[in-house]
Amino acid sequence: MKYILYLFLSLSYLFSNQTITLFANEYKPPKIWTEDGIHKGILIEIAKEVQKELKVKFDIQTYPWARTYKMSINNKGGILGLSKTKEREKIFDYNKIPLFLDTMLLITKKGKEFKFDKIEDLKGKRIGYCRGCSFGKVFEEAKKYFIPVETDDSKVQRLMLLLRGKIDATLLGPGEIALKTMCGTSKLINYEQFSILKKPLTIDPNYIAFPKKLKRKEFLEKFDIILQEKINEKVIDKIIHKWTNKNRL
């Protein structure tokens, strides 16, 4: 107990008054997005809650995913909401406790549903998702079976590709609220045009991570101490419920 207290106080002093840059996907509501220059969503609020105790300032910058990832691996900062893959774990140091579990759904055009019980059922299917994205180990394994269709388009544009028959399904998360949000904010699509396959492709844990060259392991240990406290106090559950409550739409 004394050691933990000493570690906490030492790291509080070490990281106090620092500004730490975090990059994030610019549009993945309700998890994270930027509107009128203001960062919003689940991951933003979780980061702000932890920030209070860390006595640091997070400089959060949002970009399209491919640019977000590139900025970070060029050692310009960490990533807020990064999935784990074998390749990424060679490059990044991660915190240990997931900030959020991202339910990645398979969305089809209404009337074009297909059986999906296991990843082998995706063989030959054209699956759309954002360029450079990964959603963890199950997703990487599933790519051996489906035909990847990576685009730089927005989620709404990928849903329109689906309606035009250019792809068989698109990945969307977190959960049904993501589809409702897309349809609620665009005049080009509506919720009744789509089907959600019953089984998600994966439940993808999201972390905060930094390139190993930035040497942020001690910071990540401190981040986890505070994050676990917030989880125990049900603060994180309240944040997630707030942003995933469909009455917000």
Question: Three-class SS string for the chain?
Answer: CHHHHHHHHHHHHHHCCCEEEEEEECEECCCEEEECCEEECHHHHHHHHHHHHHCCEEEEEEECHHHHHHHHHHHHCEEEEECCCHHHHHHEEECCCCCEEEEEEEEEECCCCCCCCCHHHHCCCEEEEECCCCCCHHHHHHCCCCEEEEECCCHHHHHHHHHCCCCCEEEECCHHHHHHHHHHHCCCCCHHHEEECCCCCEEEEEEEEEEHHHCCHHHHHHHHHHHHHHHHCCHHHHHHHHHHCHHHC
Per-residue pLDDT of the chain (249 residues; tens, 9 = 90+): 545 545 555 554 445 568 999 999 988 889 998 888 899 999 999 999 999 999 899 999 999 999 999 999 999 999 999 999 999 999 999 999 999 999 999 999 999 999 999 999 999 999 999 988 999 999 999 999 999 999 877 888 899 999 999 999 999 999 999 999 889 888 999 999 999 999 999 999 999 999 999 999 999 999 999 999 999 999 999 999 999 875 444
Go through the domains of the chain in sequence order and give each one's CATH number. Answer: 2-100+206-248 (3.40.190.10), 101-203 (3.40.190.10)
